[in-house]
Structure 1
Amino acid sequence: MIDRSQIFRSSARGVHVTFPATAVHTGRAAARATSLNKVYGEGETRVVALDNVSVTFPQGEFTAIMGPSGSGKSTLMHCMAGLDTVTSGSSTIGDTELVGLKDKQLTQLRRDHIGFIFQAFNLLPTLTALENITLPMDIAGRKADKAWLDRVVDTVGLSGRLSHRPSQLSGGQQQRVACARALASKPDIVFADEPTGNLDSRSGAEILSFLRNSVRELGQTVVMVTHDPVAASYADRVVFLADGRIVDELHQPTADTVLDRMRRFDAKGRTS
């Protein structure tokens, strides 16, 4: 495990990143859920995916969401990001309440204020790395901020690969393109759903280091769903879900403290 107070070195990228002891917070919320409920189905098929969840994701913080399969962690992220509707409660991005927005308004909000990184890289095979990075802005008819784009590309270590198509890139490089695409439009918040799930340990460490560095260097807010204690150790805070409820949180995590906390939940589940 790489502790965040260490220097991460990658000979493949030539990157030297110093992980800070804490993130720099602005005191404002990038996203917030208040008494959030999500129910699927009715009667005997009724499933409560989220049960009265309230949580805040501060600006400039890296938060990991963890929990057993079916705990509601991906559902929470999807509801917070406007990818799924809520049954009741409130979900906001910045000062914008998502509940009640029409489809066109939600699409614009996601495009202009939210970045997404998924386990499947979701790159278009016929486009170059640079074209994939700028695609959301091209679709919106907006020009990229060149200084910012150059900074993001440099941070993610893709300067020499921008003319390559996805088939010419490794899995780790493709995920870095996906990360750069998520940050290129200066979103208020980036949601990452198991972003290292399809990567080997080395490539996964590079992606996690980039996300960590994007918070420190670029002031980004990142919310990551993961099942991996090592991945969670890169975050400032870990929020634990079980049965659709937030049951605990951990600040300044290490892989060992996250694993210990998860074992406690497993033990409670077996004895309840």
Structure 2
Amino acid sequence: MTTSVPYSAYQATAAHPPAATVPAAARATELTKVYGQGETRVTALDSVTVEFGRGEFTAIMGPSGSGKSTLMHCMAGLDSISSGSVRIGDVELNGLKDKQLTQLRRDRLGFIFQAFNLLPTLTALENITLPMDIAGRKPDKAWLDQVISTVGLSGRLKHRPSQLSGGQQQRVACARALASRPDIVFGDEPTGNLDSRSGAEILGFLRRSVQELGQTIVMVTHDPVAAAYADRVVFLADGRIVDELRQPTADSVLERMKRFDARGRTS
């Protein structure tokens, strides 16, 4: 999916804080992830060290098979690591038991995926509050109202997923990810199943959630236009971080990606 709405409307008001002044919401140090053994051994991540600053929107990009989704899954505690360290805030994920990891993901992380993962029998509002309902926690009403207003769902809260467009369903998924006020939201190609207009609406919402709500977002994407909504783009190739770009534009991201493609053809 390639979005067509320019980022310029957001770029003028977006804050792009220097990396040194932004405390880390998540950090990987010498992170290595290996799948298989012997002849089937694949190193998906090779000694990756990276930080994701609080209140910052980071896009992760790279060619297919570069390790970008693996990095996100390891950072979010959805996949184990082979060696190195992963921290969410001051919590080291290594050594946490399954129950502790589940609690950390539930209480401190939000997730947005290509598939909306909404329950068809629940209303939009019930889907948004479901994780907190399961945890036996009451939502902060003022925060929930602010999230719903920011995502533009105030008139759709009683609708079920079948009564919503794809873009509206993904907005419900975004609101659900933000409703518990997580430390960080991870998005894996969150606009991948949407048309260009709906995708641009979701990206605009994610941008506003950083600017207006102070949210931290890490998003895997293959789309230079989507990446241009971020404060920073991290580029992976062959399981390693090979470049970084701040205050990106679609053109500057595309230019970087072309370099990697050219490098791959000549190697």
Work out whether residues 5 and 20 of structure 1, in 8 Å CA contact, stay in contact via their aligned partners in 2. Answer: no
Match of 1:200 among 195, 200, 217: 195
Q: Which has the higher contact order (CA 8 A, sep 6+)?
A: 2
Whole-angstrom distance in 2 between the partners of 1:235 and 1:247? 18
- Deviation of residue 28 (structure 1)? 1.3
Per-residue Cα deviation, 1:35-70 (whole angstroms, up to 9, x for no partner)? 000000000000000000000000010000000110
- Deviation of residue 6 (structure 1)? 2.0
Per-residue Cα deviation, 1:217-271 (whole angstroms, up to 9, x for no partner)? 0000000000000000000000000000000011000100000100000000110
**Superposition TM-score, scaled by structure 2 size:** 0.96
RMSD: 1.3
Which residue of the partner structure matches residue 85 of structure 2? 90
1:112 correspondence with 2:107 = yes
Work out whether residues 114 and 188 of structure 2, in 8 Å CA contact, stay in contact via their aligned partners in 1. Answer: yes
Which residue of the partner structure matches residue 72 of structure 1? 67
1:262 correspondence with 2:233 = no
1:186 correspondence with 2:181 = yes
Per-residue Cα deviation, 1:70-104 (whole angstroms, up to 9, x for no partner)? 00000000000000000000000010000110000
Per-residue Cα deviation, 1:160-203 (whole angstroms, up to 9, x for no partner)? 00000000000000000000000000000000000000000000
Per-residue Cα deviation, 1:148-171 (whole angstroms, up to 9, x for no partner)? 000000000000000000000000
Which residue of the partner structure matches residue 228 of structure 1? 223
1:238 correspondence with 2:241 = no
Work out whether residues 3 and 254 of structure 1, in 8 Å CA contact, stay in contact via their aligned partners in 2. Answer: no
- Deviation of residue 23 (structure 1)? 3.9
Work out whether residues 24 and 216 of structure 1, in 8 Å CA contact, stay in contact via their aligned partners in 2. Answer: no
**SS of residue paired to 1:99:** coil
- Deviation of residue 27 (structure 1)? 2.4
In structure 1, the gaps of 5 or more residues are 8-17
Counterpart amino acid of residue 74 in structure 1: S
**Superposition TM-score, scaled by structure 1 size:** 0.94
Work out whether residues 5 and 197 of structure 2, in 8 Å CA contact, stay in contact via their aligned partners in 1. Answer: no
Counterpart amino acid of residue 53 in structure 1: V
Q: Per the alignment, do residues 239 and 67 of structure 1 end up closer, same or farther by CA in structure 2, a change over 3 Å counting?
A: same
**SS of residue paired to 1:206:** helix
**SS of residue paired to 2:120:** coil
- Deviation of residue 21 (structure 1)? 3.8
**SS of residue paired to 1:20:** coil
In structure 2, the gaps of 5 or more residues are none
Q: Per the alignment, do residues 137 and 22 of structure 1 end up closer, same or farther by CA in structure 2, a change over 3 Å counting?
A: same
Match of 1:148 among 143, 150, 153: 143
Question: Across the two proteins, how many residue pairs are aligned to each other?
Answer: 262
Which residue of the partner structure matches residue 15 of structure 1? none
**SS of residue paired to 1:6:** helix
Which residue of the partner structure matches residue 14 of structure 1? none
1:215 correspondence with 2:218 = no
**SS of residue paired to 1:52:** strand
Counterpart amino acid of residue 82 in structure 1: G
**SS of residue paired to 2:178:** helix
Q: Per the alignment, do residues 23 and 2 of structure 1 end up closer, same or farther by CA in structure 2, a change over 3 Å counting?
A: farther
Whole-angstrom distance in 2 between the partners of 1:197 and 1:6? 22
**SS of residue paired to 1:183:** helix
Counterpart amino acid of residue 85 in structure 1: S
Whole-angstrom distance in 1 between the partners of 2:218 and 2:32? 19
Whole-angstrom distance in 1 between the partners of 2:9 and 2:90? 36
Work out whether residues 16 and 247 of structure 2, in 8 Å CA contact, stay in contact via their aligned partners in 1. Answer: no
Which residue of the partner structure matches residue 35 of structure 2? 40
